[in-house]
Amino acid sequence: MAETSLPTAPRARVRRLNLRLWLPLSWIGTLVVVALAAPWVAPHDPLAQDLFFERLPPFFLAGTEPGFWLGTDSLGRDVLSRMIHGARIALLVSVSAALITCIFGSALGLLAGYYGGWWDRVISRLVDIWMAFPPVLFAVLLVAVMGTGLTSVIAAIALIDWTRFARVIRAETMVQARMDYVDSARIGGARRLATLVGEILPNVLPSIIALLMLEMGIAVIVEAILSFVNLSISSDDPTWGSMIAEGRNAIHFAWWVLLFPLIALFLTVLSFSQLGEGLKQRFDPVLQ
């Protein structure tokens, strides 16, 4: 019998806690729970104004009132409650906008990268033309046409950012399409679409997931920016962006109104991008 080597022993999967995965997951997990349970966990009504309690400092400073943990803004509204309700909007926008962007952009990228020819020419031209528009102008125009509101914000994000998915996934698909396993699948009788979905897609999935997470972070920022310039939902509703905008006016005597939503925004964006990388490594059997 011929000499054979045994498969290399499956590398001992060290049950090392992967902080890159677990830290962002726990922040986002907390955010999700808090957002879902906002009416019950928020200590106050986020819209309730009380001019007796305006600009109360957070709990660790002097002159605070019990129950207003992170202080109040210039209308006496509770900052923590507004942040908790703001998380709802941030997550709603980021998840739905990123998913729509991802599905649309990745599908076009896969088709262009694998089918080539006409598909590729048309899609690549479209991407080029699209990217020639300044994105912020684009978003503002779109919201101006469609009117303010969550749907406009989501549509704006999808319309601006699908090109990122299309470009990256097209390039990755082209690399995979040159591999011999694609030929083998074809010789084995698989149709083109089946080859694309069954053989190539699983190989680009880790990249799609990483981009999706990144996009969720971007969507949170875009929503905040649009709220900041008052183009998101009505300015009464608590969003992190509008809180930051209002906090800016009072930064010298009530910095907490600006700082806490800013920290939440920062942590969320950072978590999504780290989660993307972490998941990519986790789900790629080759990188693992």
Instruction: By CB under 8 A, name the binding residues for other proteins.
Output: 1-8, 10, 116-117, 179-181, 183-191, 199, 202-203, 205, 284-286
User: Which C-beta is closer to other proteins: that of 81 or that of 106?
Assistant: 106
User: Which C-beta is closer to other proteins: that of 7 or that of 63?
Assistant: 7
Shortest Å distance, C-beta 122 to other proteins: 16
User: Which C-beta is closer to other proteins: that of 35 or that of 211?
Assistant: 211
Shortest Å distance, C-beta 185 to other proteins: 8
Shortest Å distance, C-beta 199 to other proteins: 6
User: Which C-beta is closer to other proteins: that of 148 or that of 203?
Assistant: 203
Shortest Å distance, C-beta 165 to other proteins: 20
User: Which C-beta is closer to other proteins: that of 191 or that of 248?
Assistant: 191
Q: Per the structure block, which two tokens stand in for 100? A: 């729509």
Shortest Å distance, C-beta 212 to other proteins: 18
